[in-house]
Amino acid sequence: MLRLILLSALLYDCLSAGSAHGQEKKLERFLLSNSTLSESRAPLYIAKELGLFEKYGLDAEIVNIRGAAINVASLMAGEIQMAVAAGTVAVTAAARGAPIVIVATMGPTKYDLVARPSIASVQELNGKIIGIGGYGSGDYFVLRRLLPKLGLIPDKNVTILPIGSTSSYDRINVMLAGKVDAVVAIKANIERIKARGATLNVLTGSDEQGLEVSGGDFFTTREFFRSRPGQVKAMLKAFSDAIKMGRENKELFHHAIRKFMKEENPKLLESFYESSYFFGAGPHKPRPLERALDFDIKDLSATVPELVGRKAADFIDTTLLDQVEKEGFFSWAKP
């Protein structure tokens, strides 16, 4: 730990020295909301730990506001400047008139439907309770797409119960306590639970059912995007630097997971790193996943009429991301 602290301090000193001129200006306040704690969010915390937001002129604070719908409301109220949450909620809100725009992505997320040990098949979910974070949470939208493929109808075959946590790790624990029969969870948190020696059954998953899911997107209001382009670009630059440094020094990623997810298992830390969208063997650029969002829009159109005939591109603006890329950021990623 001392080695990491010294390394972080050294990196920060180098960054500060290289951007002394920029620091003459007052830092701009920037509140970034993160809807859930997961390994995919590690670059945000690396950037915060190493002072990368300050390097680009932001006095940034990362706050945790659970639930994408609440993040949309917070944006509209001016309480935050940007959110990282389920893009499906941002798209739905925008289709209904909210001036929300997606500017980048955290990448796709693979979900599994997991059940208590006594439930061995999808068919055995008939009459059971499936727990979700809330009706505006990302797992709820995944479940809405997943259930029809399994021949299960909410309120007829299964009951959907909000249990108030957007962390699938917490939802699995609620399930294992016997309060619900199944939940939708990300693979990383399933592995964390299994590493404790707990038993649960993975019934099926988004990959198995052919679901492409955008795991989390950066979105803001169109007014902020138009009037404060420098802040949006500064956030993207800090994000890029954090990934680059984490790729050069894996311990920075591990430290972020240990500190913010409280995970110490070295095998899990390595697994999280190698399977990461931005780290591991095949890093990607944070370009919004239009194909996955188009599938979401198609599936949601049946219950959200405002989405009929719409495309993901209607709710995305990569103008500032394109500019940042042209400046040489995200050059470490795959073409």
Query: Which mean pLDDT values do the consecutive 10-residue runs of the chain (335 residues) have?
Result: 45 47 75 88 95 98 83 92 91 95 93 95 96 83 89 93 86 95 91 90 92 88 98 98 95 94 90 89 89 88 91 98 96 75
pLDDT at 136: 67
State how far the alpha carbon of 301 is from the alpha carbons of 95, 158, 217, 307, 315, in Å: 11, 22, 20, 5, 15
Q: Please tell me the distance from the alpha carbon of residue 39 to that of residue 271, in angstroms, as a whole number.
A: 10
Q: Please tell me the distance from the alpha carbon of residue 295 to that of residue 297, in angstroms, as a whole number.
A: 5
pLDDT at 281: 72
pLDDT at 202: 96
Backbone angles phi, psi at 166, to 5 degrees: -85, 0
pLDDT at 1: 47
Q: Please tell me the distance from the alpha carbon of residue 330 to that of residue 267, in angstroms, as a whole number.
A: 28
Q: Which two tokens stand for residue 80?
A: 């935050």
Q: Which two tokens stand for residue 98?
A: 């909210």
CA 96 to chain centre: 23
State how far the alpha carbon of 246 is from the alpha carbons of 35, 225, 333, in Å: 22, 28, 13
What is the CB neighbour count within 10 angstroms for residue 308?
Answer: 12
The CATH architecture to which 111-205 belongs is 3-Layer(aba) Sandwich (3.40)
The CATH architecture to which 2-108+214-326 belongs is 3-Layer(aba) Sandwich (3.40)
pLDDT at 64: 86
Estimate the crossing angle of helix 87-95 against helix 290-300, to 10 degrees.
60
Q: In the chain, which residues fall in CATH 3.40.190.10?
A: 2-108+214-326, 111-205
Q: Are 162 and 133 in contact (CB under 8 A)?
A: yes
Q: Please tell me the distance from the alpha carbon of residue 87 to that of residue 16, in angstroms, as a whole number.
A: 34
pLDDT at 11: 52
